[in-house]
Amino acid sequence: MINSKSILLVEDDEIDQMTVERALTDLSVKTQLVPTRNGSEALEYLQNRNNKRPCLILLDWNMPRMNGQEFLTIIKSDEQLKKIPVVIHSTSGAREDINKGFELGAAGYMVKSNDYEKSKNTIRAIGRYWTLCEQPPNGE
């Protein structure tokens, strides 16, 4: 389990948000999910010192206002924020998007599934991996 820390979800699609929430519930993951609707909202959350720093960011790629690519670029140029692993969760399986994601320092890239069971498996895999994975101290 990803202990008591939170997962920051950056996702504009309401149903995709619900999918992640439902999967976490179904998988009995207790980690708090912080949903934000786009890059700039997520950035605001991260820049607010009153908020706990998440242990993982689940990032949609195509979003209004500030998209995944812009958000990732900003995060990875920030000394503090760049240590937070970012997993891209996108509808696009296009090679150039995947390349771009890893170039900009994403820790993983998952293509959204049309099938809820598969989505659940994806979330399960992400949860397992990041539970086992050693994380850098976040400087708090």
Partner 1 sequence: MSDLEKEIVHRILIVDDNPNIHKDFQTILLEEHESAALDSLRDEVFGNTKTETQPKNVFELDFASQGKEGFEKVQQACSENRPYELAFVDMRMPPGWDGLKTIEHIWQADPKIQVVICTAYSDYSWGDITERLGKSDNLLILKKPFDSAEVAQFAAALTEKWNLARQAAIKMEQLEQMVKERTDELAEVNNQLKQEIAEREQAEIRMAELLKKVDNINTELTDFASIISHDLKAPLRGIKTLANWILEDCRDKFDDKANEQMNLLLGRVDRMYGLIDGVLQYSKVGRVEEGQVGVDLNKFIPEIIDMLTLPEHIEVTIEDELPVIQSQETHMMQLFQNLLGNAIKYMDKPQGHIRIGCIEEDGFWKFSVTDNGPGIEEKHFERIFKMFHVLSVKEDFEGTGVGLTVAKKIVELYGGKIWIESQVGQGSTFFFTLPKQEQEITNDKLEVNTAC
Number of residues in contact with partner 1 under rule CB under 8 A: 16
Scan residues 22-51 and list those touching partner 1 (CB under 8 A). 22
Indicate whether 92 belongs to the interface with partner 1 (CB under 8 A).
yes
Indicate whether 64 belongs to the interface with partner 1 (CB under 8 A).
no
DSSP 54: P
Segments in the chain forming alpha helices (H): 14-26, 39-47, 68-76, 95-103, 116-132
User: In angstroms, rounded to a whole number, what is the distance separating the alpha carbons of residues 41 and 46?
Assistant: 9
User: In angstroms, rounded to a whole number, what is the distance separating the alpha carbons of residues 53 and 70?
Assistant: 20
Considering only the stretches 38-46, 91-99, 101-109, 127-135, report the one whose residues sit in contact with partner 1 under the rule CB under 8 A: 91-99
Candidate residues 3, 25, 47, 62; the one interacting with partner 1 per rule CB under 8 A: 62
Q: Taking the complex as a whole, how short is the minimal distance between the CB of residue 13 and partner 1, in angstroms?
A: 7
Indicate whether 15 belongs to the interface with partner 1 (CB under 8 A).
yes
DSSP 105: T
Q: How far from 90 is each of 13, 60, 77, 114, CA to CA, in Å?
A: 11, 5, 22, 12
User: In angstroms, rounded to a whole number, what is the distance separating the alpha carbons of residues 30 and 2?
Assistant: 8
Element (H, E) at 35: strand 32-36
Indicate whether 114 belongs to the interface with partner 1 (CB under 8 A).
yes
Candidate residues 32, 91, 135, 138; the one interacting with partner 1 per rule CB under 8 A: 91
Toward partner 1, which CB reaches closer, 32 or 113? 113
Positions in the binding site for partner 1 (CB under 8 A): 13-16, 18-19, 22, 62, 91-92, 94, 112, 114-116, 119
